[in-house]
Amino acid sequence: MLAAYAAHLDPDHPLDGLVVGDRPEPEPREHWTTVEVRAASLNHHDLWSLRGVGLRAGQLPMILGTDAAGVTPDGREVVVHGVIGVTGHGVGPDETRTLLSERYPGTFAERVAVPTWNLLPKPAGLSFTQAACLPTAWLTAYRMLFTSAGARPGDRVLVQGAGGGVSTAAVLLGAATGLEVHVTSRDEGKRSRALDLGAASAVEPGDRLPAKVDVVLETVGAATWSHSVRSVRPGGTIVVAGATSGDAAPAELTRLFFQEIRVLGATMGSREDLAGLLRLLDRTGVRPVVDREVPLPRAREAFERLAAGSQFGKVVLVPA
Protein backbone atom coordinates (compact mmCIF):
# COMPACT_ATOMS: atom_id res chain seq x y z
CA MET A 1 0.00 0.00 0.00
CA LEU A 2 1.09 3.61 -0.53
CA ALA A 3 2.35 5.45 2.56
CA ALA A 4 4.40 8.47 3.66
CA TYR A 5 7.09 7.32 6.07
CA ALA A 6 10.32 8.24 7.82
CA ALA A 7 13.20 6.40 6.15
CA HIS A 8 15.92 8.14 8.16
CA LEU A 9 16.16 10.88 10.76
CA ASP A 10 17.76 14.29 10.34
CA PRO A 11 17.46 16.95 13.09
CA ASP A 12 18.52 19.76 10.73
CA HIS A 13 16.86 18.72 7.47
CA PRO A 14 13.85 16.62 8.52
CA LEU A 15 12.20 16.44 5.11
CA ASP A 16 15.27 14.67 3.70
CA GLY A 17 14.10 11.56 5.55
CA LEU A 18 10.55 11.60 4.18
CA VAL A 19 9.67 8.97 1.57
CA VAL A 20 6.38 8.32 -0.19
CA GLY A 21 6.30 4.73 -1.39
CA ASP A 22 5.08 1.19 -0.87
CA ARG A 23 4.79 -0.31 2.61
CA PRO A 24 3.38 -3.66 3.82
CA GLU A 25 -0.31 -3.95 4.62
CA PRO A 26 -1.28 -3.87 8.33
CA GLU A 27 -1.10 -7.32 9.89
CA PRO A 28 -4.28 -8.75 11.47
CA ARG A 29 -4.22 -8.50 15.27
CA GLU A 30 -6.73 -9.50 17.93
CA HIS A 31 -8.87 -6.60 19.19
CA TRP A 32 -7.53 -4.32 16.43
CA THR A 33 -9.31 -3.05 13.32
CA THR A 34 -7.84 -2.02 9.97
CA VAL A 35 -9.34 1.26 8.76
CA GLU A 36 -9.47 2.40 5.15
CA VAL A 37 -8.11 5.94 5.48
CA ARG A 38 -10.21 8.61 3.79
CA ALA A 39 -8.33 11.59 5.24
CA ALA A 40 -5.36 12.17 7.55
CA SER A 41 -4.15 15.55 8.82
CA LEU A 42 -0.60 16.75 9.46
CA ASN A 43 0.74 17.96 12.81
CA HIS A 44 4.06 19.36 13.99
CA HIS A 45 4.51 15.98 15.67
CA ASP A 46 5.18 14.56 12.19
CA LEU A 47 8.01 17.03 11.61
CA TRP A 48 9.49 16.34 15.04
CA SER A 49 9.37 12.62 14.29
CA LEU A 50 11.49 13.19 11.18
CA ARG A 51 13.96 15.04 13.40
CA GLY A 52 14.24 12.01 15.65
CA VAL A 53 12.08 13.20 18.56
CA GLY A 54 10.16 10.15 19.79
CA LEU A 55 11.68 7.92 17.12
CA ARG A 56 14.94 6.00 17.03
CA ALA A 57 16.80 4.75 13.99
CA GLY A 58 16.03 1.15 14.96
CA GLN A 59 12.29 1.80 14.57
CA LEU A 60 12.59 2.86 10.94
CA PRO A 61 11.00 2.80 8.47
CA MET A 62 7.97 4.21 10.29
CA ILE A 63 4.74 5.38 8.68
CA LEU A 64 3.98 8.87 9.98
CA GLY A 65 0.67 10.41 11.04
CA THR A 66 -1.43 10.44 14.21
CA ASP A 67 -4.82 11.59 12.85
CA ALA A 68 -7.30 9.90 10.54
CA ALA A 69 -10.90 9.34 9.63
CA GLY A 70 -12.03 6.45 7.51
CA VAL A 71 -14.16 3.37 7.05
CA THR A 72 -14.00 -0.01 8.81
CA PRO A 73 -14.37 -3.33 6.95
CA ASP A 74 -18.04 -3.49 8.00
CA GLY A 75 -18.75 -0.04 6.55
CA ARG A 76 -18.74 2.13 9.68
CA GLU A 77 -17.45 5.69 9.31
CA VAL A 78 -15.03 6.35 12.16
CA VAL A 79 -12.58 8.82 13.69
CA VAL A 80 -9.29 7.41 14.99
CA HIS A 81 -8.11 8.29 18.50
CA GLY A 82 -4.36 8.14 18.06
CA VAL A 83 -3.25 7.50 21.67
CA ILE A 84 -2.25 3.88 22.23
CA GLY A 85 -1.63 2.31 25.64
CA VAL A 86 -2.37 3.14 29.29
CA THR A 87 -5.93 1.81 29.04
CA GLY A 88 -5.08 -1.82 28.21
CA HIS A 89 -7.58 -1.81 25.35
CA GLY A 90 -5.99 -3.64 22.43
CA VAL A 91 -2.58 -3.72 24.13
CA GLY A 92 -1.22 -4.90 27.45
CA PRO A 93 -2.53 -2.97 30.49
CA ASP A 94 1.01 -1.95 31.46
CA GLU A 95 1.98 -0.59 28.05
CA THR A 96 3.12 3.03 28.25
CA ARG A 97 1.33 5.72 26.27
CA THR A 98 2.47 6.34 22.72
CA LEU A 99 0.94 8.02 19.70
CA LEU A 100 0.42 6.33 16.37
CA SER A 101 3.66 6.63 14.35
CA GLU A 102 5.82 6.26 17.47
CA ARG A 103 5.56 2.55 18.26
CA TYR A 104 2.86 1.49 15.80
CA PRO A 105 2.59 2.58 12.14
CA GLY A 106 0.70 5.83 11.61
CA THR A 107 -2.11 7.14 9.48
CA PHE A 108 -0.36 8.51 6.37
CA ALA A 109 -1.22 5.40 4.41
CA GLU A 110 -4.05 3.86 2.49
CA ARG A 111 -4.86 1.74 5.56
CA VAL A 112 -4.00 1.84 9.26
CA ALA A 113 -4.53 -0.69 12.06
CA VAL A 114 -5.58 0.56 15.51
CA PRO A 115 -7.15 -0.94 18.63
CA THR A 116 -10.88 -1.25 17.99
CA TRP A 117 -11.49 0.66 21.26
CA ASN A 118 -9.76 3.68 19.66
CA LEU A 119 -12.47 4.10 17.04
CA LEU A 120 -15.31 6.57 17.54
CA PRO A 121 -18.31 7.03 15.25
CA LYS A 122 -17.90 9.92 12.83
CA PRO A 123 -20.85 12.32 13.05
CA ALA A 124 -22.73 12.39 9.75
CA GLY A 125 -22.46 16.17 9.62
CA LEU A 126 -18.67 16.06 9.50
CA SER A 127 -16.79 15.25 6.30
CA PHE A 128 -13.87 12.83 6.47
CA THR A 129 -11.49 15.75 5.95
CA GLN A 130 -13.04 17.73 8.80
CA ALA A 131 -13.07 14.72 11.12
CA ALA A 132 -9.41 13.97 10.36
CA CYS A 133 -8.45 17.40 11.71
CA LEU A 134 -9.68 16.59 15.22
CA PRO A 135 -7.68 13.85 17.00
CA THR A 136 -4.51 15.86 17.72
CA ALA A 137 -4.75 19.65 17.27
CA TRP A 138 -8.46 20.06 17.99
CA LEU A 139 -8.40 17.49 20.76
CA THR A 140 -5.43 19.26 22.32
CA ALA A 141 -7.20 22.64 22.17
CA TYR A 142 -10.35 21.11 23.68
CA ARG A 143 -8.39 19.51 26.52
CA MET A 144 -6.36 22.67 27.19
CA LEU A 145 -9.45 24.85 27.42
CA PHE A 146 -11.98 22.67 29.16
CA THR A 147 -10.25 19.74 30.87
CA SER A 148 -6.94 21.30 31.96
CA ALA A 149 -7.85 24.97 32.47
CA GLY A 150 -11.55 24.45 33.22
CA ALA A 151 -12.44 27.57 31.22
CA ARG A 152 -15.99 28.84 31.62
CA PRO A 153 -18.15 31.20 29.57
CA GLY A 154 -16.96 34.76 30.06
CA ASP A 155 -13.33 33.82 30.81
CA ARG A 156 -10.59 35.63 28.93
CA VAL A 157 -8.14 33.40 27.05
CA LEU A 158 -4.88 34.23 25.26
CA VAL A 159 -3.87 31.93 22.40
CA GLN A 160 -0.25 32.34 21.37
CA GLY A 161 0.42 32.05 17.64
CA ALA A 162 -2.57 32.38 15.31
CA GLY A 163 -2.80 30.13 12.27
CA GLY A 164 -1.81 26.71 13.52
CA GLY A 165 -4.18 23.83 14.09
CA VAL A 166 -4.36 24.20 17.88
CA SER A 167 -4.77 27.98 17.78
CA THR A 168 -7.52 28.04 15.15
CA ALA A 169 -9.32 25.28 17.04
CA ALA A 170 -9.04 27.24 20.29
CA VAL A 171 -10.46 30.40 18.71
CA LEU A 172 -13.43 28.57 17.19
CA LEU A 173 -14.14 26.46 20.27
CA GLY A 174 -13.76 29.46 22.55
CA ALA A 175 -16.05 31.68 20.50
CA ALA A 176 -18.67 28.93 20.34
CA THR A 177 -18.69 28.47 24.13
CA GLY A 178 -18.71 32.09 25.28
CA LEU A 179 -15.00 32.69 25.91
CA GLU A 180 -13.28 35.98 25.14
CA VAL A 181 -10.34 34.84 23.03
CA HIS A 182 -7.28 36.96 22.21
CA VAL A 183 -4.56 35.79 19.81
CA THR A 184 -1.07 36.80 18.74
CA SER A 185 0.67 36.55 15.39
CA ARG A 186 3.47 38.26 13.52
CA ASP A 187 1.42 37.90 10.33
CA GLU A 188 -1.19 40.60 9.71
CA GLY A 189 -3.20 38.29 7.46
CA LYS A 190 -3.38 35.60 10.14
CA ARG A 191 -4.44 38.16 12.74
CA SER A 192 -7.23 39.31 10.44
CA ARG A 193 -8.42 35.76 9.81
CA ALA A 194 -8.40 35.03 13.56
CA LEU A 195 -10.72 38.00 14.06
CA ASP A 196 -12.98 36.61 11.35
CA LEU A 197 -13.13 33.30 13.27
CA GLY A 198 -14.37 35.06 16.41
CA ALA A 199 -11.29 36.31 18.28
CA ALA A 200 -11.94 39.39 20.39
CA SER A 201 -8.54 40.86 19.52
CA ALA A 202 -5.44 39.92 17.56
CA VAL A 203 -2.10 41.57 18.36
CA GLU A 204 1.59 41.35 17.57
CA PRO A 205 3.52 38.92 19.80
CA GLY A 206 4.52 40.72 22.97
CA ASP A 207 1.95 43.52 22.67
CA ARG A 208 -0.15 44.49 25.66
CA LEU A 209 -3.62 42.96 25.78
CA PRO A 210 -6.79 44.92 26.64
CA ALA A 211 -6.83 43.15 30.03
CA LYS A 212 -5.12 40.33 31.90
CA VAL A 213 -6.44 36.92 30.91
CA ASP A 214 -7.62 33.99 32.99
CA VAL A 215 -5.99 31.35 30.77
CA VAL A 216 -3.08 31.25 28.34
CA LEU A 217 -2.71 28.48 25.76
CA GLU A 218 1.00 28.18 25.06
CA THR A 219 2.31 26.10 22.15
CA VAL A 220 5.10 28.39 20.88
CA GLY A 221 7.60 28.29 23.74
CA ALA A 222 10.69 30.50 23.92
CA ALA A 223 9.39 33.23 21.61
CA THR A 224 6.20 33.88 23.61
CA TRP A 225 6.76 32.51 27.11
CA SER A 226 7.58 35.85 28.76
CA HIS A 227 4.52 37.43 27.20
CA SER A 228 2.37 34.54 28.44
CA VAL A 229 3.59 34.95 32.01
CA ARG A 230 3.06 38.73 31.92
CA SER A 231 -0.40 38.45 30.35
CA VAL A 232 -2.09 36.05 32.78
CA ARG A 233 -3.81 37.38 35.89
CA PRO A 234 -2.64 36.47 39.40
CA GLY A 235 -3.99 33.01 40.14
CA GLY A 236 -4.53 32.32 36.45
CA THR A 237 -3.48 29.32 34.41
CA ILE A 238 -0.98 28.71 31.61
CA VAL A 239 -1.50 25.44 29.75
CA VAL A 240 1.50 24.26 27.71
CA ALA A 241 1.11 21.82 24.83
CA GLY A 242 4.16 22.53 22.71
CA ALA A 243 7.26 24.60 22.15
CA THR A 244 7.67 25.08 18.40
CA SER A 245 10.21 27.89 18.92
CA GLY A 246 12.21 25.94 21.51
CA ASP A 247 12.21 25.59 25.28
CA ALA A 248 11.64 28.73 27.32
CA ALA A 249 14.53 30.05 29.40
CA PRO A 250 14.40 31.61 31.88
CA ALA A 251 11.17 30.25 33.34
CA GLU A 252 10.44 33.47 35.30
CA LEU A 253 9.85 31.45 38.44
CA THR A 254 9.65 34.52 40.69
CA ARG A 255 6.61 35.84 38.86
CA LEU A 256 5.05 32.36 38.77
CA PHE A 257 5.20 31.73 42.51
CA PHE A 258 4.59 35.31 43.64
CA GLN A 259 1.42 35.60 41.54
CA GLU A 260 0.43 31.96 42.16
CA ILE A 261 0.18 31.19 38.44
CA ARG A 262 -0.63 27.58 37.60
CA VAL A 263 1.37 25.96 34.79
CA LEU A 264 -0.10 22.73 33.39
CA GLY A 265 0.95 20.42 30.60
CA ALA A 266 -1.39 18.85 28.05
CA THR A 267 -0.77 16.24 25.36
CA MET A 268 -3.69 15.54 23.06
CA GLY A 269 -6.52 14.12 25.19
CA SER A 270 -8.44 11.07 26.28
CA ARG A 271 -10.95 9.09 24.27
CA GLU A 272 -13.64 10.71 26.43
CA ASP A 273 -12.29 14.15 25.51
CA LEU A 274 -12.49 13.25 21.81
CA ALA A 275 -16.07 12.02 22.24
CA GLY A 276 -16.96 15.31 23.93
CA LEU A 277 -15.31 17.29 21.15
CA LEU A 278 -17.25 15.37 18.49
CA ARG A 279 -20.53 16.04 20.32
CA LEU A 280 -19.69 19.74 20.64
CA LEU A 281 -18.99 20.13 16.93
CA ASP A 282 -22.05 18.11 15.99
CA ARG A 283 -24.33 20.29 18.12
CA THR A 284 -22.83 23.72 17.46
CA GLY A 285 -22.00 23.44 13.76
CA VAL A 286 -18.41 24.55 14.41
CA ARG A 287 -16.08 23.07 11.80
CA PRO A 288 -12.29 22.89 11.50
CA VAL A 289 -10.51 25.33 9.22
CA VAL A 290 -8.87 23.35 6.42
CA ASP A 291 -5.90 25.06 4.83
CA ARG A 292 -5.80 22.59 1.93
CA GLU A 293 -6.18 18.99 0.88
CA VAL A 294 -3.15 17.28 -0.67
CA PRO A 295 -3.21 13.85 -2.37
CA LEU A 296 -1.16 11.25 -0.50
CA PRO A 297 1.32 10.77 -3.39
CA ARG A 298 2.23 14.48 -3.02
CA ALA A 299 2.69 14.28 0.75
CA ARG A 300 6.01 16.10 0.56
CA GLU A 301 4.19 19.27 -0.59
CA ALA A 302 2.03 19.09 2.51
CA PHE A 303 5.06 18.68 4.77
CA GLU A 304 6.82 21.60 3.10
CA ARG A 305 3.85 23.87 3.72
CA LEU A 306 3.68 22.87 7.37
CA ALA A 307 7.46 23.28 7.82
CA ALA A 308 7.30 26.78 6.30
CA GLY A 309 4.51 27.79 8.68
CA SER A 310 2.50 29.25 5.81
CA GLN A 311 -0.71 27.33 6.55
CA PHE A 312 -3.81 28.68 8.26
CA GLY A 313 -5.70 25.74 9.71
CA LYS A 314 -5.06 22.10 8.93
CA VAL A 315 -3.23 20.52 6.01
CA VAL A 316 -4.90 17.22 5.16
CA LEU A 317 -3.76 14.21 3.11
CA VAL A 318 -6.44 12.45 1.07
CA PRO A 319 -6.36 9.40 -1.22
CA ALA A 320 -5.14 10.03 -4.76
Give tens-digit pLDDT for 275-316: 999 999 999 999 998 999 999 999 999 999 999 988 888 999
| Residue 185 scores a pLDDT above 70 | yes
271-284 helix and 165-176 helix, angle to the nearest 10 degrees: 60
- Per-residue pLDDT averaged across 178-187, rounded? 94
pTM: 0.91
- Regarding whether 67 and 52 lie in a shared domain, the answer is yes
CATH number at 177 reads 3.40.50.720
Distance CA 300, CA 317 (A): 10
Q: Three-state SS for 309? A: coil
Least confident of 54-58, 73-77, 109-113: 54-58
Q: 100-141: per-residue pLDDT in tens?
A: 999 999 999 999 999 999 999 999 999 999 999 999 999 999
In the predicted structure, residue 222 carries a pLDDT above the cut 80: no
pLDDT (average), residues 193-211: 92
Average pLDDT over residues 9-16: 96
Rounded to an integer, what distance in angstroms lies between the CA atom of residue 33 and that of residue 303?
A: 27
Q: Are residues 259 and 292 in the same domain?
A: no
Q: Are residues 104 and 9 in the same domain?
A: yes
Q: Are residues 116 and 52 in the same domain?
A: yes
The overall average pLDDT reported for the chain is 93
Strands 18-22 and 98-99: unpaired
